[in-house]
Structure 1
Amino acid sequence: MKRFIQTLKNIFSIEELKNRILYTLLLIAVYRLGYYIVLPGVDSSKLNIDTSGLLGLLDTFLGGAFSKASIFALGIMPYISASIAIQLLTMALPYFQKMQKEGESGRKKLNQITRVLTIFVTIAQSVSYLQTTIPTDALLITRAAFTISSVFILTAGTIFCMWLGERITDRGIGNGTSMLIMIGIVSRFPRAIYQEAVSRGTGEALIFVLEIVALFLVVMFAVALTQAVRRVPIQYAKQVVGNKVMGGQRQYLPLKLNTSGVMPIIFAQALMFIPSLVAGLFAEKSDFASSIATTFNDYTTWEYNGLFATLIIVFTFFYTAIAISPQQIADDMKRGGGFIPGVKPGISTSDFIATVLDRITLPGGILLAVVAILPSLASMTGMTREFAQFFGGTSLLILVGVVLDTLQQVESYLLMKRYEGLMKSGRVKGRTETVAV
């Protein structure tokens, strides 16, 4: 406790770090304030928005704003969708690839394109959200007037959230976009704990304590999965520059066990509604289609979790393949005078890195699938649905990743001012690491 208090004193003794933390807290407070502002023309007491399946995940990311029909009902998610689309285009189209290689000017152009695309995505999602989730009996004005006004408000709300995220990134602490998502998830945690404690009651207090211990172990498992790295040694040849001998040191190429992060889970969840949707079209004519629809509407069935886990493993290989290019890494190493001991530069190095990636991607995908299906397993034990969501899946991985990145930034400030780090056992490592090439 004494060390913890001293660390807090060290943090707030650094003027720049203190200002960044306070600025971040202020913007987070503004963001949460928008949760309580309901769209004009809606009677919130008559809202009964279904948040099952993918909509439930979206509502979790937005801290409940989606189900409350607030002005931040779509939050930062359209910006996330636009960013993913631009990222995929950057990997597929030469025009965007060229723009990405232009340095700072290219990055600014891509950011501007992402912002413009966000507006169109938000408008499309706003219309869909208003038409399919807001019941007519909850409206205080005509449907047409409500739709037109709310599309403008929701779009402005998303743009404002995007601006908040950029301000946190530039002048605050941590990645602003990820921080807003994390705050939405964390805001539901106290309520989930309370509901679980009430449902267990005094007669099952020991079970509730065991659930808390299990949650702690799951979080530690998620941290280990996020941090696990296969370090490939790289040796740099010695070079004579003037009167000095440069190079000759050994560094490491960090290949993460979970290179793809939460993307495989997000892609897999986006596809899991298709079986029930297609089967539902023929449910009245076929008992088999009806059983399929029923099975895949329940996320606790073994069929649902089996398909979900398989999709996650497939997408883990897919996303790793498009995110890391062994050939490019090998070329960069060759230009920098680096080589892997015992491996020839060029094609042999590329093949070696690809082999290592294949060997770590499979266990990484399996472990990621285990984390993804843990909430359904937790629900089967009798936990409340909201509390079970914190036992794995996208929510837990986002929480772990954002917290590690933020702590890494804080520790960097402490070490820069010659203070001790946050941990005695070593430095805090975030998700972003520099490749030694």
Structure 2
Amino acid sequence: MLTAFARAFKTPDLRKKLLFTFGIIVLYRLGAHIPVPGVDYGNVQQCVNQAKQGNNNLLGLMDMFSGGALLQITIFALGIMPYITASIILQLLTVVIPRLEALKKEGQSGQAKITQYTRYLTVALAILQGTGLVATAKSGALFSGCSVASQIVPDQSIFVIIVMVITMTAGTALVMWLGELITDRGVGNGMSILMFISIAAGFPGSLWAIKESGKLAKGWIEFGTVILIGFVMVALVVFVEQAQRRIPVQYAKRMIGRRSYGGTSTYIPLKVNQAGVIPVIFASSLLYIPILIVQFAGTSTSGWSAWIQQHLVDGKPIHTVIYFFLIVFFAFFYVAISFNPEEVADNMKKYGGFIPGIRAGRPTAEYLSYVLNRITWPGSLYLGLIALVPTMALAGFGGANANFPFGGTSILIIVGVGLETVKQIESQLQQRNYEGFLR
């Protein structure tokens, strides 16, 4: 594997791509530490040290995607979260709006138009989320229990608030541009790489915090246990993410003039985890809505507000059960809208393909739907169990939930992006008759 890394840097064009990617990553991490104008950086650091473990589930998720920049209120505080949200919304609207569905079928030109719409929606969401973040920081609700939370934004004039929102929106647009630069001139998918770096940046601090808060052998027992759990989880995630059901497809021979076409055998790869990490994000966002309503309602003593604060907090049994079932539901929901068996069956029929033993057309669509439902069950249960690892860590490590680095969302994204990037480097090495990372 080390030889493959050396060969990657010896190849001139691949070396340029890797160095360009590393340069963009350095710029991205630098921007994640530059505070927004109008913020008292000393008070922010004091509140981060005091109240970081008390954050809700979605706020912790957004902070993870921003590489810790959200709670620091830097120019890259929103990170790539607006782009991820915009991409998910456009993907869902493609099923509902015929115009977007037609653009998707147009190929590269249609995809370019959808990408343009995604950029516009990203900027709009950045303005909305930036306004919400500034309002939350100004009121002191961003850090519950911090004595100087209300002094994070000393000057609360309209001009300062507008400058803060514009700065965060510009930071999101810059992050989006950096991601597209990596995709065009670097290695791998740019947005995925930036997401990978954001999550990985918090690992050393989280691991050391577990060691510092541990009680057995000065924390080294807990530290080693977490590392061991991390290796086991990575192996499990790699195994499931690579697992797929291959449905064989045969294409009949066709004579066009004097030449014959077709007669080849291929397969349709249906992944066990076809939905990826999207169901976890959906479930976290949906469960955060009641908590958000309670926060904006203020110190309400009504029955429903007290029930939400008591039962829908991360780590509570009712929250855990609802979270698990929401992940399972959204896994089936997302697979249903992202993979259309009827469309796949029609395309196969159009080009003379068929599944051996299954008639073309409607029987093929029914067979694909049957297989997809069967493999989505273990995939959705696997997602739910992986997402509950931080909750189990809370019980096992005495409140280390916020510092537990190998949470479900983070490990899924890191392993998925890592595998995808390694495959791209491998393919470029193999084009030059080099062996890949694994012989």
- TM-score over 0.5 for the pair: yes
Aligned-pair distance for 1:245?
A: 4.5
Residues 1:407 and 2:433 aligned together:
no
Task: Quote the residue 2:213 is aligned against.
Answer: 199
Task: Quote the residue 2:105 is aligned against.
Answer: 101
Structure 1 stretch 62-71 or stretch 119-128: which is displaced more? Answer: 119-128
Task: Quote the residue 2:252 is aligned against.
Answer: 237
Task: Quote the residue 1:165 is aligned against.
Answer: 179
Task: Quote the residue 1:66 is aligned against.
Answer: 70
1:4-19 alignment to 2 at 5 Å?
Answer: 4-19=1-16
Deviation track 1:351-380 (CA, whole Å, cap 9, x = no partner) reads: 000000111111111111011111111221
Question: In 2 relative to 1, CA 146–97 (structure 1 residues): closer, same or farther, beyond 3 Å?
Answer: same
Decide whether the 8 Å contact of 1:43 with 1:139 is kept in 2: yes
CA distance in 2, matches of 1:273, 1:26: 36
1:5-404 alignment to 2 at 5 Å?
Answer: 5-47=2-44, 48=47, 51-134=55-138, 135=140, 136-200=150-214, 202-241=217-256, 245-276=260-291, 284-286=301-303, 290-297=306-313, 299-382=314-397, 384-388=400-404, 390-404=405-419
Specify the SS of the correspondent of 1:261.
coil
Q: What amino acid is the match of 2:87?
A: S
Residues 1:422 and 2:419 aligned together:
no
CA distance in 1, matches of 2:202, 2:418: 17
Q: What amino acid is the match of 2:415?
A: V
CA distance in 2, matches of 1:361, 1:381: 30
Aligned-pair distance for 1:208?
A: 2.9
Aligned-pair distance for 1:275?
A: 4.5
Q: What amino acid is the match of 1:46?
A: N
Aligned-pair distance for 1:239?
A: 2.9
Question: In 2 relative to 1, CA 192–358 (structure 1 residues): closer, same or farther, beyond 3 Å?
Answer: same
Task: Quote the residue 2:145 is aligned against.
Answer: none
CA distance in 1, matches of 2:302, 2:125: 36
Question: In 2 relative to 1, CA 251–35 (structure 1 residues): closer, same or farther, beyond 3 Å?
Answer: same
- Over the residues paired in the alignment, what is the CA RMSD in angstroms? 2.0
Structure 1 stretch 133-142 or stretch 341-350: which is displaced more? Answer: 133-142
Deviation track 1:148-177 (CA, whole Å, cap 9, x = no partner) reads: 111111111111101000000000111111
Deviation track 1:312-342 (CA, whole Å, cap 9, x = no partner) reads: 1111111111001101111111112111111
Decide whether the 8 Å contact of 2:327 with 2:383 is kept in 1: yes
Q: What amino acid is the match of 1:419?
A: Y
Question: In 2 relative to 1, CA 289–71 (structure 1 residues): closer, same or farther, beyond 3 Å?
Answer: closer
Aligned-pair distance for 1:62?
A: 0.6
Where does structure 2 lack aligned partners over 5 or more consecutive residues? 141-149
Structure 1 stretch 178-187 or stretch 163-172: which is displaced more? Answer: 178-187
Decide whether the 8 Å contact of 1:276 with 1:294 is kept in 2: no
Aligned-pair distance for 1:140?
A: 4.1
CA distance in 2, matches of 1:207, 1:140: 40
Decide whether the 8 Å contact of 1:378 with 1:391 is kept in 2: no
CA distance in 2, matches of 1:112, 1:289: 41
Q: What amino acid is the match of 1:225?
A: V
Aligned-pair distance for 1:289?
A: 5.5
CA distance in 1, matches of 2:13, 2:40: 44
Q: What amino acid is the match of 2:280?
A: I
Aligned-pair distance for 1:141?
A: 2.9
Aligned residue pairs: how many?
A: 418
Specify the SS of the correspondent of 2:388.
helix
Where does structure 1 lack aligned partners over 5 or more consecutive residues? 425-437
Specify the SS of the correspondent of 1:29.
helix
CA distance in 2, matches of 1:291, 1:107: 46
Structure 1 stretch 103-112 or stretch 210-219: which is displaced more? Answer: 103-112
Specify the SS of the correspondent of 1:36.
coil
CA distance in 2, matches of 1:321, 1:229: 17
Decide whether the 8 Å contact of 2:65 with 2:80 is kept in 1: no
Q: What amino acid is the match of 1:108?
A: A
Decide whether the 8 Å contact of 1:236 with 1:338 is kept in 2: yes
CA distance in 2, matches of 1:386, 1:149: 31
CA distance in 1, matches of 2:56, 2:212: 22
CA distance in 2, matches of 1:37, 1:203: 34
CA distance in 2, matches of 1:164, 1:275: 35
Aligned-pair distance for 1:242?
A: 5.2
CA distance in 2, matches of 1:268, 1:296: 13
Decide whether the 8 Å contact of 1:277 with 1:293 is kept in 2: no
Aligned-pair distance for 1:273?
A: 2.3
CA distance in 2, matches of 1:150, 1:199: 35
Deviation track 1:250-283 (CA, whole Å, cap 9, x = no partner) reads: 2111011111111111110011124445678696
Task: Report the TM-score, using the length of structure 2 for normalisation.
Answer: 0.90
Decide whether the 8 Å contact of 2:196 with 2:417 is kept in 1: yes
Specify the SS of the correspondent of 1:417.
coil
CA distance in 1, matches of 2:292, 2:181: 40
